[in-house]
Amino acid sequence: MALLNIVKEGDPTLRKVCRPVTEITPRILQLLDDMVETLIDSNGAGLAAPQVGILRRIAVVDMGDEIVELINPEIIAVEGQQQELEGCLSVPDVWGITDRPQKVTVKALNRFGEEFTVTGEDLDARCFCHELDHLDGHLFTDKAIRILTPDEVAELKGE
């Protein structure tokens, strides 16, 4: 296991469309392990492979009671709407309000190559949308309906 370096906005990797995983090799399993460790270490809600410099369709999302590993994820159903706060480990100290579905169902492969579906609401739903956007080169700042001012961010952080 190893902590991975998280690339920041401005790095061209974050703007590329990632390729699907065609075979779950030991290298992919290692990447999943390292991404989970990096996510836990960074206190984030989710992490996508391009954020650690790997252009593959892989993301990990912390759903509170478990960290779900998503290989080749696709959103297959959405419901409702929410306008809530969002941030990104690759865009430090920037927070914005995004317009996302309230409930999102994702289909993906697990590390054994088995297809599964997972449904998230509220923060989990935002996180699924956010991480899947990363796989297509989109950042939350592209679609935020409002970016918080520095004063608002300071207040948010309790400064």
| Shortest spacing between CB 49 and Zn ion, in angstroms | 11
Q: Which stretch binds Zn ion (CB under 5 A): 57-65, 85-93, 108-116, 150-158?
A: 85-93
| Shortest spacing between CB 140 and Zn ion, in angstroms | 6
Q: In what order do the strands lie in the sheet with 91-100?
A: 82-88, 91-100, 146-147
> Cα–Cα distance between 130 and 144 in angstroms, integer?
11
Strands 103-109 and 115-121: antiparallel
Residue nearest to Zn ion (CB): 88
Strands 58-62 and 67-79: antiparallel
Residue (88 or 109) nearer to Zn ion, CB: 88
| Shortest spacing between CB 25 and Zn ion, in angstroms | 25
Among 88, 104, 125, 127, binds Zn ion (CB under 5 A): 88
23 noted as active-site residue: no
Please name which of 46, 35, 73 lies closest in space to residue 130, comparing C-alpha atoms. Answer: 46
Active site residues: 131
